[in-house]
Structures are given as C-alpha cells and as structure tokens.
Structure 1
Amino acid sequence: MAYAPVTSGYRSALQLRTAEVLEKYRSYDPPHMAAFGAELRDSAPACACLAYAINQLAQRSHAAFPVHGQMVQMLVDVYAKVGTAAKLAEDIEPLFYKVHEHDIMRLEEPRKGFAGEQMWNIRAGQQTDGGGIKNRRSVLYAASAYIAHVYGNEYAPEHMMVVYREYCELAEAIQNFAGCIRLIHDRTNDVEPVEQPITDAVGDVLGALEAAGSEAAKLMPAFRRFHAKDLAKHETPRKGPAGEGRWDV
C-alpha cells in the first residue's frame, strides 16, 4: 500500500518554477538598451503570471481543497498584493517611452535607417541587432509565462500535503520572482542609462512584491494552527502510517 508523503516529501511547484526563473535571469545580460527595454516593458505581464498562479491556488483552495476558509482569505490577500505589483508595473512602459522618447525613436524609427542613425552612436558601428523594443522578446516574461502555463494546465495536486507545501513556500516563491525585479532595479541604478523616474518606478514594483512576500510568510504558521490535527496524522501517525491509515475516509 502506498502512503501519502510526509511534510518534507514534496517541494512547492511554484517555488521550484520561480527558482528556475531567477536562476535563468541571473545569467541574462541584455546586450543593449533595446533588449533591456523589453524587460522593462514586460515586467507587468511577468508579474501578472505570478499573480495568476497564486489566484489559481486560491480558487482551487476555495472550490476543491479541504482547507480552512481563513487560509483561502489569507491567500487572496497575498494575491491582491502581487496584483498591486503588477498594476504598478503597468506604469513602467508608458513612463519609459515618455522619458526616453528620443532614445527610443532612434531604435524604432531610425533616421535614414540604421545605417544613417548609427552615425550618431557613441561607439562606432551599429550597437543593436536591428529593430526596436515593441516586438522584441522579453527573457523575464518568457520564463514567467511558463509559471502560468503550469498552474493553468498541469498543476493538479492529489494530496493535501502537496498543497501544504505550496502554502509553506509561497513566500520564498514570491521572493524568487522579486529577485528578478531586483536585478532589473540594480541595473537601472548601476548599468543602464535610464533616468531616475524609471529606477523609482521599478523600485515601487519591487517594494510591492516584497510586501506580498511578507504577507505570504504568515501562511505557514496559520496553516499549522488551523490544520494541526490534520498535519499530526502525517507527521506523527499513531501506530505508524499503517495504523493511522485505518482512520482514512
């Protein structure tokens, strides 16, 4: 007979996926401002992917998973804070296009084509791979979209100890994603030639994500409080798993 996993037997799918996103993003070095502009542009939909995953967990907790109603509400509160970060991130693209209108024009509407426009370059020769920002692929969004895909189409835990790990590690998952936004923020401070309002706008998004992570850190102790008896069946089973299993519904 197969027994359910103990508390530490599973890792959060969201924590694992966001860790992969952070690891991939740490190694990404945008070659020019056209590429970095795409990262700024898509910070909002990337945040929305994380919010979507949390919303899916909240909806399934409400409709299918036997968890205390207060846990669902706490999860909705976390989702709302991530949603706030996504909403703040929506301001970055129009602000970026406004503050850097002339810079972006050189990329997207080059005068006399790129061959002509590059004569204004600081360094001799063409510094982009051609093309502007609008249709350029964002590394952050491409990686984050996979998170939404997994939660929307593939994630279907069959046991509550798996769900428990999602609640336990949600704070870490949010911090992983916030780490990507922090990398963008650091670049606006130290590397990329952007104006201060851009740095401030990215900082606002980062602050909102960190607030969401702090809110998510309350989930594990609350889960253990509301479901102490349920967890005890798995962590300290009476007469071992075989004995405790005789109480199974």
Structure 2
Amino acid sequence: MGRARAARELRDAEIREAAGIAEAALHEAAERDGSEIADRVERPEPLVAGPAPAGTGDTVSSTSGWKFEEAAAEMEAAAQAYQPDDCMEILAMVQGLPQALTSISNVMKILAERSDSEFPLEKEVADQFADLHGSLMGTVAVADDMENVFRTAHASDIARFEDPRNGYEAEKGWNI
C-alpha cells in the first residue's frame, strides 16, 4: 500500500508539473498577443483580498455566499436557550437527533461532490469534505443509540407518563 501511495504521489506531482508548465505557456502566449485580461479587470476588494495568513484564525471575506458557521451558531444559541416543558419533549428531541445529524453530514457530502465536480477546487479539498461526511455519519450511530439509553435510564418515568396511574392529574401527585 505504501508503494502504491508513493507511486500515486509521484504521478500526481508529474501531472501538476506538466499542468503548471502548460499554464505558464498559455499565460506567456496571452501576454504576447494581448489577450491576458487578468491585470486589466478591476475586481472588488473582498474577492481579491486572498487567504488569511495561516494560523491567524481570520477568515477570508466575500460579498455573498452561504455561511455555514452562522447556521451552526444559530443552532448553538438555540441549544443554550432551550427550556423544555418536560422530559418527554427532550425524548422527542433525542429521537430527532439521528435525522438532524444525517442532514448536517449530508451538507459535507454535498460539498464533497460539488467540490469534485462543480467548484474549481483540488481533489484534496473534496476528500476532506468526504472525510468530514464519514466522521459525522459515525455520530449518527451514537445518536441512534441515544434513544435506547434515554428510555432505559428513565423507563419508570416514561412508563408513568405514557400510562399514568389513575390519570395524568393523579400521577402528578408523585412528583417530588
């Protein structure tokens, strides 16, 4: 497997080098015949600001787009403010976790697929999105098991809620 990986890395390096040479030749030809427009086109500042220096924690700004971190922060804020009416509401939330985590994981899967086919990104980026998808799908299995853990840990409470003795109002008398 190590030899195959080394052979692939060598092949990829050769392909990148050949592509770089071909690209440089195209740029030289475009400069000679005046068809190179990159230096003549004015671009909005946020789009040409470039990547933030590595390790700074800064992000590159853009004028539009989907900001995953904003959706995630909204979910985090909702979790902080969450005040369930009762524990059965928490059980319902736990039951929905696998679907929610699958949706989040599918975001990474979609980004992996689109990075590989539609976006002008290198294969390594698509691979990272695919790895994130796989990792997040592992959390779905844990979330699937959470309902069983919840039901086992709170079996007597759930039984009293689902089948209250002498009605719900009478059962409330056991709440301490």
SS of 1:169's partner is helix
1:139, distance to aligned residue in structure 2 (A): 2.1
| TM superposition score normalised by structure 2 | 0.63
The answer on 1:131 being equivalent to 2:58 is no
The answer on 1:186 being equivalent to 2:101 is no
Report the Cα distance in structure 2 between the residues aligned to 1:157 and 1:135, rounded to whole angstroms: 37
Partner residue of 2:88 out of 147, 157, 161: 161
* Uncovered stretches (5+) of structure 2, i.e. residues with no partner: 1-15, 21-35, 51-59
* 1:210-235 per-position Cα deviation (integer Å, ceiling 9, x unaligned): 00111111000121122111101111
Report the Cα distance in structure 1 between the residues aligned to 2:173 and 2:142, rounded to whole angstroms: 37
Q: Is the 8 A contact 2:115 2:125 kept in 1?
A: yes
Partner residue of 1:119 out of 16, 27, 37: 37
| TM superposition score normalised by structure 1 | 0.46
* Uncovered stretches (5+) of structure 1, i.e. residues with no partner: 1-98, 103-117
Q: Corresponding residue for 1:143? A: 71
Which aligned segments of 4 or more residues in structure 1 are displaced greater than 4 angstroms? none
Partner residue of 1:245 out of 147, 172, 175: 172
Report the Cα distance in structure 2 between the residues aligned to 1:120 and 1:232, rounded to whole angstroms: 70
SS of 1:209's partner is helix
* 1:198-220 per-position Cα deviation (integer Å, ceiling 9, x unaligned): 11111111111000111111000
Aligned partner letter, 2:37: M
* 1:167-208 per-position Cα deviation (integer Å, ceiling 9, x unaligned): 222222211211222221121122112111111111111111
* 1:58-94 per-position Cα deviation (integer Å, ceiling 9, x unaligned): xxxxxxxxxxxxxxxxxxxxxxxxxxxxxxxxxxxxx
1:166, distance to aligned residue in structure 2 (A): 2.7
Report the Cα distance in structure 2 between the residues aligned to 1:135 and 1:182, rounded to whole angstroms: 24
Q: Corresponding residue for 2:140? A: 213
Percent sequence identity is 21
1:247, distance to aligned residue in structure 2 (A): 1.8
Question: For the aligned residues, what is the CA RMSD?
Answer: 2.7
Report the Cα distance in structure 1 between the residues aligned to 2:116 and 2:44, rounded to whole angstroms: 24
Could you say if the C-alpha distance between residues 238 and 129 of structure 1 is closer, same or farther in structure 2, counting changes exceeding 3 Å? farther
Report the Cα distance in structure 1 between the residues aligned to 2:89 and 2:148, rounded to whole angstroms: 16
Matches within 5 A, 1:1-249: 119-120=37-38, 130-132=45-47, 134-136=60-62, 138-152=66-80, 154-249=81-176
Q: Is the 8 A contact 2:115 2:121 kept in 1?
A: yes
Aligned partner letter, 1:131: P
Report the Cα distance in structure 2 between the residues aligned to 1:129 and 1:138, rounded to whole angstroms: 18
Aligned partner letter, 2:46: G
Q: Which has the larger radius of gyration?
A: 2
